[in-house]
Amino acid sequence: MGDKREELLRQLWTAQDEAYDLMCEYDSLPHHYGENILYQAEGHIIDLIAAYPGITITDLGNILKKTPSACSQIVRKLKEKGWVEQTRNRDNNRQFNLKLTESGQKVYEDHLEFNRYCQAETFGLLAGFSSEELEHHVMVQRKINEAYQGDVRRSRVRNKEHQSFDIHDRVNYAAERSELTLDPERRTLTLSLGINTEFCAVMDYFEIFLERMLLCRRAAEFLELTFKLDINGLSLL
């Protein structure tokens, strides 16, 4: 039984690697959206500008986790194609706001339609799986995502000598999981964290992030929600 489980875990690991390679290849290729050709990175930025008219390049970088320079290069190409226009912010001369042109809106709609088609194709391939099987897969994928999330956080810690960690290193290295859950019925917004207490105490986390947690609570109150904080299964706020 143990050998079978280990083999299944290895197959899952291999399937994750294959999926990552395919997604990287897909993102590197141009795709036809109606009469136009776009790369995925261009499509993502067009989607965001459509969703948030007036968004800035800095905002795009924060959402996409890219440098402003990288976003600026893509926006410049979209402007050259006539799909995006940039206007100076009236209140801040150093800031520019982005919006789609009429032709850019058409590209966005074609991109949206293409995404719907791809989604329908994928859902069709999964039609043979039961709801229970899909639920199990979602649970497994979320656990795998937690592992990736922990790897990302630990990779941000440039100091690799545990003995010389400062408090920021300890907290970043110890934060293994974070999940934000909205409960519309109870009007609650819950931030659930997993902290590895072998690397830092929960109080270390609060020493750094208490002010941000209080800001989260005030933001939730503005939205008429109750903010809750859960660390390692314990409700703290």
Please give the mean pLDDT across all residues of the chain. 88
pLDDT value at residue 107: 94
CA distances from 173 to 42, 71, 165, 186 (A): 33, 29, 9, 33
pTM: 0.66
Quick check: 195 and 188 in contact, CB under 8 A? no
Calculate mean pLDDT across residues 207-215: 84
Measure CA 177 to chain center. Answer: 14
In which element (H, E) is residue 178 found? strand 175-183
Q: How confident is the model at residue 1 (pLDDT cuts 50, 70, 90)?
A: low
**Domains of the chain by residue range:** 29-125, 132-235
One-letter amino acid identity for 222? F
- Convert the pLDDT of each residue in 110-154 to its tens digit: 999 999 999 999 999 999 999 999 999 999 998 888 888 777 777
Reference 221, options 181, 185, 179, 188; nearest CA is 188
Over 90: is that where the pLDDT of 171 sits? Answer: no
- Produce one character per residue of 35-70: b if its CB has 16 or more CB atoms within 10 Å, e if not: ebebeebbbbbbebbbeeeebbbebbbeeeebeeee
Instruction: Tell me the pLDDT tens digit for each residue of 65-80.
Output: 889 899 999 999 999 9
Distance CA 216, CA 126 (A): 38
Q: Which CATH class is domain 29-125?
A: mainly alpha
Predicted pLDDT at 116: 93
